[in-house]
Structure formats: structure tokens, C-alpha cells
Structure 1
């Protein structure tokens, strides 16, 4: 681990040295007049450089580089971004090592529907990804770690129909996929029609050892669980986009995102208990699951140009969501006799409507003023039924129609000011209020939060060094409790214990509030290169953590995990990035592009004993290395990427410690271009295929309760043919 820091610094040094060697030759080069083409979006690196509130942009070049099957695989290679969960199975998107709602993920500038997953979104449906480390007034400031905005495909610079067909193979199981994108124009109407279909098959297994030990170290109980599951998922994505330009210059855009998935799986578990005075709940279990998910989200905006350079952008949207899951579980004893049967069904409906607008206008010399509003209303209905073989409900609200309504309103204003050719600044403020209400058999639930966030960003272009600049940001951000944490019906654990508790909500949660400071130095290299060093601090109040308690329920005395505000925390970190093309920095160099980034994080939660009283699941370090080599004599490109996250040990409370093993992911690809329209890509993901291990240790009631798990991971091979007509 310690070797990574010198390695990252050496990488930065190589790039800086190459840049220094390049400078003397510039004076001898022939001066080429610059040509500026307006009317299109800026180049990714130019947009990053000119953004006052630091924004990194990754367009189609980055999205197409490795032939990834989902957006999660693209995100894991970006600076400061990690993916929770084991390799090859995706997980929660995290910036600066912080998940659980600290990282704001947007689709077209708006929060996606509840239950939306990055693994369900194909890169072929995406035009670009914008990563913002500090919040801005235009977007919600529910972004303590940062914001990732996924902009869906809009036909920018597309010519002809694009077709991609591929197959992924894991453990001999094939997962075919097909995507088609077709742009067009009829008079003043332009459109882009995008569709993709995938069929995913996978198999997983888990080995778990549960133990209970007394204060003397004597083993009181030992269990071994061997679980296997196999299933398939069918997915269909449609993202048509329409744009109509009126004769007066106004533009009306509307884009729809439709996703439908069907999941089917079967699992079985063998449970052996060599030590223990009380017989286990079962010895063998079989379970089948069927689920369907459908999301429909419409994004629209009307752009009206006013006098001068002023604009009014009115946005509107609607969302519908449907999730259903049916589970049937049988539990048997050692002789094969049926002990119990559990039937669980979950049917959830989500509806939302939103509107908003932004007025922007130049104001005096160098000022660009913008102000806007947002209104959103959403409604959720959920029916969960959990019955045993005698038809007895497993919790009080089983079968009830749980409803939740959320109302959100926001007002914001911002001013981007070009003070001098060297100085530019951004000042903004945003007020946002969220109210959630719910009716349950246990009584009505209501939760209201109101947050005011002042925001300051500044950039200084260093005089005499046109490629160097400094950034500074001082911001207020927050994390609001999600609906599930506020009103969740109990989620029952079939082997209830301190390491496998039931989960429930808490209607009295307050939002976490954070004050943030960001500093960065950036040096730009060539057309797409950069060296940057950045640091950040976040001071967090009203931190939300899940607390573990024993409670008397309808099923008896059980372990229950519920969220609560536990106090104050602080996190800070340093992030290094080096990205450059060797051919742009050295004469006669091979066509090799390098990418590397390294992050080091620190955090502390007050009131919890150290030394590992960190924010939940935040690693101490993370690093990415990547290279792409375009051969000169043949139309072949070779590339590889390496992602590393060390083992994580977190003291989550005074009685619980959670550990996860290191994660090393190596991906490789080869790209053969037949001509300018057709290419073939072969890739191998998770080549190392390291096992993922976890450990959950709880000290309670004079016992040490431990659950140690081991999950194998697998190499995934894929082949993909891409062509344009």
C-alpha cells in the first residue's frame, strides 16, 4: 500500500518533466492561427478548464473506451469515485469514499426514481458524465461528497445509425446485449431514437461462519452456511429524444427514459451447526424470487430567448415507477421435514411530477446572473405481505397499504463573475425544503427539513503560466433522510442475530449538515492532459448512523437496526490526478494515453471509540491506473485499467466493527478498427477474480457475535461489434 504514494507522485513527475521538455520547442514552432467553431458544446477538457465551479466532463470517448456494459463500470475509473460491493456485481456509487446518500447522482440534472441503479443504465444511452466535487446552486445541494450528473444521449455530433451487438461470458454463462441509436431530422424537428436490450445470467455463492463466544473465549455456538444462487435478468431501455426549434429561436426539448426489467432467481442454503445448545432454525432452505421493475421518466424544457442575451429555461417532468417482488422460501430440518414456509410479496408504486425554471442574463461587465425555482411532488404506495405457513403475518403492518407523500421546493440564485482575465468567481445561494408524510396503522408520520446553502467558488489563472490555475470553494451542503429510512416497514432477517438484524425506519431523523472547503491546483497538458492536486474538508453535524438494539416484537425478542442522528463527524482527503497523451508531450513518441489517480482519505466520528471510528465504509485510500496504446502500423488499440481499494475496517458503534477485504480489479481490452464505421472490441473484466471477504463483529450482552463471509468473484469476457450505417 505504501508503495502507491511514491508511484503516484512519480507518475505526476513524469508528466511534469515531459511538459517541461516540451516548452522550449514551442518558440521554434510555426504559429498556427486558431480557429474557433461556435454553436456546439465545448471540448470536455476545455469545459472543465473554463468551469468556475469545478466540473469534470467525460464524453463519448471515455464512455466507449473499454466497451463497458453498464455505467457503474465507467464510473469506477474516474478520479475519486469508487463502487461498493464486490467486483463484477456493482454497488453503490461513492465519491471520496462516501456512499449512503452522500454522493448525489442525477440523470439530466434531476434525481432518478426510487430504486434506480447505475447497473441498469447502458453507456450507449449516455452522452456524457459530469462530476462536480462541490455543490452548485442550480442543482440540489444534497451532495456532501459531490455530484455525478449523467446526461442522456441527445444526438450531439451523431451521424447515421449506430448498432452495437455483444456477448458477455461469465462461468460459461452467456449474456447477450444489443443497442441501436438512430438520429434524424424532419424540418424543424430533430430526434434521436435509442434502444438497448440485455439478457444477463449469473451465478453466485457465499460461505459464512457465524460464531458466539463468551468473555472467557469459550465457543458457545458455531454455524456454517453454504449458499448458492442462480438467476437471470432481462432488460429493455428506450431513450427517445425530440427537439423542435421555432422560427423565433425558441427550442422545445423532450426526452423519455423507459426501463423495464424482469428478474428470476433460485437459491438454496445448507446450514450446519457443530456447536450450540439450541438447535438451528433450519438445516436446509430453498428460495425462489420473481421481480419486475418498470421506470418511466420524462424530461422536458422550453428555452425562450429574451432581449439581448437573456434566456428563460422552463423545465418540466413526470415520473412513474412500479416494482414488484414475490419470494417463496421453504425451510427443512436435517431429516428433510418441512419446518416452515414463508411467502413475501412487495408491491411498490411511485408517481412524481416536477417543474422548474431558470432565468439567466448578463449583468454588467463580466457578470452572468441566474435565478430559478424547483417544485416537485411525489407519491408512493407500498404493500408488503409476509406470512408463514399458517398464514400468520410476520409484522404488524403486513398487508397494509403504506403511503408516503413528499413535497419539495427550492429557490436559488447565482452569479458567475469574470473579475479579470485571471480571476473568476461564483457566488450562489440555495434554499430547499422537503416535507414527507405517511399514514400507517401505527399512526401518521411527518418529517420536515429546511436547509439554506451559501456557495462560493473561485478560480485564479496564474499570470505568466496560462496552463496553470488554482481553485477554491467554500460551501454548505446536506444529506436528507430517504423515504425508506423515515417510514420503512420492518425488513425481517430469517436468521435474526446481532450480525443479521431486522431493519426498520425512524420518522424523527434530521438532515445531516456539512460545511466544506475545497482547494485544487491544475496544470493542463496538450489537448486532453491534466495534472491536478486537490484537497477537501467536510465538517458534518447530525450524522446519521444505524444503531443496533434488542427489542420485543410480535415475533419475540429480536435484534433490530434503525437509523438515528448520532452527532458530529469530520472527513478530509487529498486527491491526485495525472492524465496525458505521450505523443503530445514528446516527439516521435508512441500513441500511448496514460490515466492515473490516487486518493487518501481521513475521517472521524465523535462519540465512537477509535482508532477506526471512520465514516461508514470509507476506505483510507483508493487508486486507478490506466493505459491505451494505439498501434501505428495496424488498426489495433490495446488498453488496460487497474482499480485498487484496500481493506476497510470501521468501528460503527461502541459495540460493532465491520470489515471488508481489499478490492483489486484489472480490466483489459483490444479494439480492432475495420474501417471508420466498424470496429470489434474484445475485453476481459475482473481478470484477477479475487475473493471478496467480509467480517461483522458485535460485542453485546457479554458475548462476541461474529459473522465472517467469503464471496468468490469471476472474470467476465466480452466481445462487441460496433458499426454505423
Structure 2
């Protein structure tokens, strides 16, 4: 820790010495003035990314995401200012800066005209805010505004992200859950709220669950694919920054109400949203509050298969098969509040908060066919299982995930020195109270397997839980609590050093983040108390696999124990046996990251900009867990591992260059160094040893962070009629990526046992090369009448090659791809918008990619290619009060979530959701 503070102090002293040296040679006049304000349109909507240029000084600034701008260090006098914005007429004005004071100036832009006097309004008018913000960034950034998000049928942030170039998403119950940026797995990117990284509500990963946050709660989605030194460095793929709704310039009042239908649940869905914002006390106090509520009864039809490999012959064979029926009710609640208070033009406080709460009430009915490789010998097993919860939780397994983020920030201007600071608290949690399973088993039977080794094998035998020799194999009740708490503090300074065509500025600061995470699972089995031969359950059976089961009618159902019977059980009056294995993954972890940075921005004439940066991040870790031992002929045990510590420091340089060929064509080049820290659960120094199943899971506290050296080239051309064509190349040299290594062998004290051993390891290095292409424009350039029709499309190609593969037993393999890296991703949308009516057809594609590496290449798990098609329409009417009636249908191609093993024909999982439909009304006052 002392070393960390010494390094931080050195960076601050260096920055301070630069400031002192500059001050000694340049006496700061107390008469200098400042212009500050906000850029808005005629409707008083804020305009982010506007260019404010001072003609006299040949220098300028860009308005931020809330439309604010600051022009500091101005001598008293009169200045000519030019303001430009895509889709608006350029505005020129003359302002007089008073001596030693700050002038507040609101800039109002009007709708623009093209040279031929053709109105710029078209299908992409709502996207111009995002395009302006993207246009003026130094790094490679994709920005999507709330206007654009609202034009797609996306219920959560994950679904909205899949429309962005270079982003792929992975699904859960038909909704996007994790985002992958630029051909990297989800754990190599970060998700932030207003610049602060969100903690994860799940116990085993750092990945943020994007389906927790409704899409209508975010003002802007900003994907930074090139990070600068003043940003957190844990973003190898990129940083997904969700900007919540900010305080408005004028009163805002919006409401949404809708409903929908899902073919699995066949119940109605409800959607409600409300936003209110205004300013008070002579505009000193701004308030913005928003609420979103979604209640979606959904479900899925799922089949799953497991395979193994004969060590002698290399033959891969099927071992297990499952038929699963899911019924889920997913309820999302989200609340946000933003406040700002302007003490005077030079000092402002901002408070932002968002709270997200998702209930998942799930019932799962599963038929498992086990030991199918021995089915012909009459040694197979069948299990029939009901998954549910207590009667207090709708007789369903409740997964309650919550995230919250509260931040207080200040912005201050002291002469020419700008300072901002912030303190924030974030928490993520997952609670699963009284999760229950009732499992029936029948063993030593013969089963007939059809199409084994093909895309969809199945068992022809009809299973009847009312007949045959069944026994209660498991009756469990568990409670799970996971929570992560993050506290963050940051302080930044920005000092302009010179103005004019060769103006420059110095920015420096520091940040401290402390994380603590706990996973606590306690589970008991009550089968002995219930009685293995107890047949009372026979009075509480019901058929659950629905008609129209989408994987096919060949997958038969049976009667399952009713969820109400399981939910009404009083386990408090029964004696259960502790399941120590469930607790072996429990841990406590703390992590602190102390960072400091220096950033130097240099203008090289009017059209060239250079940014040099250096960031230092010092990481301090402390973990503890449990060792689980299950002897073949003795009692299980769970013993503490003791604490394990690890500390490391990373210095991360960055160089960014931007060339404005003209106002419309932007060229960018950059080099950055970024990192990704190992997930918490992999670092816990525990050993879970199961002699019955001959399996071991081993933690690895010696894991090192993954480091990436990133090179980017890009060119963007912005059409005056609102649109964009862009192309980019990127290369990443990734060192020490992490994979779960799967091997077989003995273990100290058990050398004669051939265990299946799983341990996370630094798997090697990889080269990642990519190409990004994007195009969006209406067809008005062909003929003015076609301005109502537009096209939005992007395509990303990534190629990865693994080197120095450190995976026991697979060290000599070549041609391996990096896990989590699809080769092709594409998004296409065709728009029609005229006289208030709009219609959009959208298509999303991602190719298959390796998701998890197996003991052998034949056992690698792949996430299959996806093809999604959505359709939405709306009609907007009214002037003072605008109403929009909308209807949408998603997943028109009924794309399943599918994994396969080794080869495309060997299905591991295929989960179907069906087509979903929604309709409703939006009102804006």
C-alpha cells in the first residue's frame, strides 16, 4: 500500500510541478473571465456534443452529455463564437466577457437547412444527439441516445446493446444478459453507471447483468472502445457506460403503458413508465425522477445433453439427456432520481441515483435420463424433478437481484483551474430464499436412445411416475445470499496551459475504490425425514410439459410433483442433513484499487489533436473460502482456507490522435493498454473434493490479471442530412487470458483416483484482429421523397489466434480461437417514418464461438450462431401533448439459445422462447 501511495504522490507532484513551472512564467491575471452555459434546441431539449468555437482565439470546446460547456481563461473583451451541430443551422454570436466574472450564456440552435434548402428532418432525426456526441470524441466511441433506443423493441439495456457495432450479447430466458465487446468475452469488458463500474449480482463472475436495467431508464448508452487515462482501465473489449437521466432544461413529463403476450406462459405482460423533471428556485435546482415497472410472465422449452470421451478410442458418446419445461414470471422495477444545484456559475453539486430490482419467480420441471452409455445393459437411471419455492414466494424459486448506485459530485471553477470530485456507493445482491427441489429416481432400467450423436437425440421410452419402482432421491431446501458493496472516491483537476491553434491542457487526478463481496449458501436435504419410500407425493402429481413443446413432439413429458405440494412443506418440523458441497463455494473477498493518472491534450493546429496519458492502478486483494472433503466411506467436512493476499501495480500508457480532415470526416488512431482482473470465485484458495463422483474443483489465488495492448485506426464520415459511414481496424495483443482448465489425474493423498479436475488458469496469449463497418442514412440523397426511408447497418469481423496455450494436455494444439469471440456480428434495420407513422424491421446476427474449453477439443462448448428478427410500428399524434401508439413483435424467427459440443451437430442445449408481442401507448406533455 505504501508503494501505491508513493507512486500516486509522484504523479501528483509531477503534475503540480508542471503547474508551478507554468505559473512562474505566466502570471494569472485576476481579471480573466469565463463563459459557461448550456446548448439547447428551440424546444428546450439539451444538445450534447455541440461544437462551440471561439473565432478570435482559434480554440473551442464540446458540450457534454447534458449540453453544458465551459470556455475558461478569457481576457475581458468581445468574442465571436460559432456553434455547430449536425442537423441544425450553424449559429454565430458576439459575446462580451466581463472582467473577472463568469458569463452565463444559453445557446439556442434552430433546425437547419441543407444547401438546396431541403429540410434535414428524416428518419434519423432522433439520432443526431448521439451522432454529435460520437463525432467529437477523441477515442472510438459508439453513442446511442434514448430517442434511438425507443425506436427498437428492446425491454432491457442488453437488448438495446446488441444493435451497436461490435457488440454481441448472450441470452437468458429470451433476454440479453451479458454483453461482449469487439470479440472478447463478457468478463473482459466493464459496465458502468455514469462512469462508475457496477458491481455484479452474481457470485461467480464480475459481469453485470444487463437484463436488470430497463431500457427506458437510460438517457444515453456510450460504448468506449478506446479508453483514455482518466477512465478505469479494466476494459479490454471496451467500457459500456450507461448514462442515467439528467436534470432537464425545462419541464419534462412522460408516461408509458403497455401490455404483451408470450406463447409459453400465455399470460399478459404489463409495462409502465413515468418520468418527471423540472427546475425550481430561479433554475438553481434541477430535478429529474423516473420510474419503470415491467411484469412479464415468460417461459421456455428446453432440451439438454451431456457427452464424454473414451480415453482409449477417442470416441465421444452421449451420457445424459434432459427435457425441461420452464415457467417464469420476471418482474423489473427501476427508480432513478437526479438533482443538481447551481450555487453560482462556478460551483455546482449533482446527485444521481438509480435502483433496480428484478424478481424471477421460476418453476422448472425436468426429466433426466442418466448413464445412457449403459442404457442397453439395463443400467440407466431416470430422474423426475420439480424446482420451486415456499408458498410465501408463489411456490416458485425466487431469484431476487438488486443493484443500486448513488453518487454525489461537485464541479468547481477557480480562475482557470477546473476541479471535479465525486463520492459514490454501489451495491449488488442476489437472494434465493427457500429454493426447493423434489427429485424422484428410478434406476437400473433400459432406455432406447434414437439419433444419438446427432443434432437432436431423444429417448423413446414413456416415463410414468405413477408406476414402477420410484424413490425420493432428493428433497432439498436452500438459502443463498450474495452481495457486493463498492465505495468510490475520485478527484480530478483540469488546467489549460495555452490557447489558440496550438492550445493544450493538463488533466490529472486520483481514484480510490474498495470492493467487498460475500457468497453464502446453506442447503439441507430432507429425503430421510420424508422417507425414500414415502408415496404421499402420488396424491400431488400433475402433467407440466405443455402442448406445442417447441423442440419437438418426440420429447415426452410425465407427471411431476406439484409446486403447491412442495411449497407447503414445513421444513422447520423436519430434520435435514447439511449439504456441505453447496457451501464449498462460499467466500469473502475484499479488493481495493488505488489509481492516479496524468492526461495531456495538445492541439496541433485547427485539425489535429493529440492526447498522451499514463494511468497507474494498484490492486490489493484479500480472499478466504472453504475446503470441502467428501471421503468415500466417511463424513463430509468443511474447513476454512484461511486468508490469502495478493498485490500488484500496473502502469498503463495511452496515445490518441485525431485528424479532422474537414467538419464531416474524422480520422482516429490510438494505442492503449488495458487489463481485466480475475473473477472472485476463481481466486478463492479452496479445494472441493468429491470422492463419490471423483471430481475436484480447485481455486487459484495465483491468477494474474489479463493484459491487452490495443491498436486502433478508424475513419468516420458524417452526412449533413444526419447519418454516418465509418470503418475501423483494431488489433489486441492479449496476454494471460483466463480459462477453466479441465484435466484428469490424481490428487495428493488420493494418487490412485482418476479425478476430473477443474481449475482456472492463465491460459496463454492471443492475437485479436478486427474490422468494423457501419452505415446509417436515409434515402433522401436519391430523391427527396425517399427521406422517409432509411437504413441502419453495421458489421464486425474478428479473428483470434491463441498462442503459448497453457492448458494441460492441450499445449501443442494450434489454430485455437479465444473463448467468447464470434467471428461475425451484424445488425441491419430498415426504417420508414412519415407523418407520425413509423415502421422498423430489424435483424441481428452473430456467428458461433467457443464458450468454454473442455478436457479435449471434442468436448469444447460452443455458443451457436443466432439470427434475431424484430418488427415494431408506431403512430405519433398531437402537438402540445404527443401520444404514440405502438406495437412490436420480437424473435420472429423463434431463435433458440443453443450450445453444442465439439461439432455443430452435437447439441448440448436448445432452449426455445417463441415470438413475443407487445403493444401500448406513450404520452409526452
The TM-score with structure 2 as length reference comes to: 0.69
CA distance, structure 1, for counterparts of residue 345 and residue 837 of structure 2: 48
Q: Secondary structure at the match of 1:477?
A: strand
The match for 1:637 is 838
The match for 2:516 is 379
Q: 1:348 aligns with which of 482, 487, 506?
A: 482
Tell me the CA shift for residue 216 of structure 1.
Answer: 4.6
Tell me the CA shift for residue 552 of structure 1.
Answer: 7.4
After superposition, what is the alpha-carbon deviation per residue over 1:243-266, rounded to whole angstroms, capped at 9, x for unaligned? 111036311111111122322211
CA distance, structure 2, for counterparts of residue 397 and residue 67 of structure 1: 39
Q: 1:543 aligns with which of 729, 734, 737?
A: 737
The match for 2:894 is 689
- Is 1:55 aligned to 2:55, yes or no? no
CA distance, structure 1, for counterparts of residue 846 and residue 896 of structure 2: 14
After superposition, what is the alpha-carbon deviation per residue over 1:275-330, rounded to whole angstroms, capped at 9, x for unaligned? 4158456521222222223333201101111103x311011111234321142222
CA contact (8 A) 1:383 1:399 kept: no
CA contact (8 A) 1:212 1:706 kept: no
CA contact (8 A) 1:374 1:411 kept: yes
Tell me the CA shift for residue 163 of structure 1.
Answer: 0.5
CA distance, structure 2, for counterparts of residue 688 and residue 158 of structure 1: 43
After superposition, what is the alpha-carbon deviation per residue over 1:347-391, rounded to whole angstroms, capped at 9, x for unaligned? 123333211111112111321221111112222233212333364
The match for 2:426 is 319
Give matches, 1:266-345, under 5 Å. Answer: 266-273=363-370, 275-276=373-374, 279=379, 282-288=382-388, 289-308=397-416, 310-326=417-433, 327-334=435-442, 335-345=469-479
CA distance, structure 2, for counterparts of residue 51 and residue 386 of structure 1: 51
The match for 2:878 is 675
CA distance, structure 1, for counterparts of residue 718 and residue 617 of structure 2: 36
Q: Secondary structure at the match of 2:701?
A: coil
Q: CA RMSD in A?
A: 3.1
CA distance, structure 1, for counterparts of residue 183 and residue 584 of structure 2: 38
The match for 1:451 is 650
Tell me the CA shift for residue 399 of structure 1.
Answer: 8.4
Deviates more, 1:231-240 or 1:554-563: 554-563
CA contact (8 A) 1:471 1:519 kept: yes
Q: 1:467 to 1:358 in 2, by over 3 A?
A: same
Q: Name structure 2 gaps, 5 residues minimum.
A: 1-87, 94-104, 110-127, 202-207, 389-396, 443-468, 529-575, 626-639, 806-810
- Is 1:571 aligned to 2:571, yes or no? no
Q: 1:688 to 1:341 in 2, by over 3 A?
A: same
CA distance, structure 1, for counterparts of residue 318 and residue 738 of structure 2: 32
The match for 2:295 is 199
After superposition, what is the alpha-carbon deviation per residue over 1:661-702, rounded to whole angstroms, capped at 9, x for unaligned? 22000111111012241101111111111334322249xxxx
After superposition, what is the alpha-carbon deviation per residue over 1:453-488, rounded to whole angstroms, capped at 9, x for unaligned? 1001101123xx542232100111111112232228
CA distance, structure 2, for counterparts of residue 98 and residue 496 of structure 1: 34
Deviates more, 1:436-445 or 1:617-626: 436-445
Q: 1:208 to 1:399 in 2, by over 3 A?
A: closer
CA distance, structure 1, for counterparts of residue 595 and residue 238 of structure 2: 19
CA distance, structure 1, for counterparts of residue 696 and residue 168 of structure 2: 28
Q: 1:552 to 1:175 in 2, by over 3 A?
A: farther
Q: 2:525 aligns with which of 388, 411, 430?
A: 388
CA contact (8 A) 1:126 1:150 kept: yes
CA contact (8 A) 1:533 1:577 kept: yes
- Is 1:104 aligned to 2:190, yes or no? yes
Tell me the CA shift for residue 236 of structure 1.
Answer: 1.7
- Is 1:357 aligned to 2:491, yes or no? yes
CA contact (8 A) 1:526 1:584 kept: no
The TM-score with structure 1 as length reference comes to: 0.87
Tell me the CA shift for residue 421 of structure 1.
Answer: 1.2
Q: Secondary structure at the match of 2:171?
A: coil
Q: 1:358 to 1:722 in 2, by over 3 A?
A: same
CA contact (8 A) 1:87 1:663 kept: no
Q: How many residues align?
A: 681
CA contact (8 A) 1:241 1:256 kept: yes
- Of structures 1 and 2, the larger Rg is shown by 2
The match for 2:252 is 160
CA contact (8 A) 2:584 2:688 kept: no
Deviates more, 1:76-85 or 1:642-651: 642-651
After superposition, what is the alpha-carbon deviation per residue over 1:3-50, rounded to whole angstroms, capped at 9, x for unaligned? xxxxxxxxxxxxxxxxxxxxxxxxxxxx97645795699933222222
CA distance, structure 1, for counterparts of residue 173 and residue 430 of structure 2: 26
The match for 1:177 is 271
Give matches, 1:698-713, under 5 Å. Answer: 708-713=908-913
- Is 1:253 aligned to 2:350, yes or no? yes
CA contact (8 A) 1:87 1:665 kept: no
Q: Secondary structure at the match of 2:495?
A: strand
Give matches, 1:578-617, under 5 Å. Answer: 578-583=775-780, 586-606=783-803, 607=805, 613-617=816-820
Q: 2:131 aligns with which of 36, 39, 45?
A: 45
Q: 1:425 aligns with which of 610, 619, 622?
A: 610
CA contact (8 A) 2:214 2:332 kept: no
CA contact (8 A) 2:181 2:237 kept: yes
CA contact (8 A) 2:224 2:238 kept: yes
Give matches, 1:388-537, under 5 Å. Answer: 388-389=525-526, 391-395=576-580, 398=583, 402-440=587-625, 441-462=640-661, 465-487=662-684, 505-537=699-731
CA distance, structure 1, for counterparts of residue 315 and residue 677 of structure 2: 44
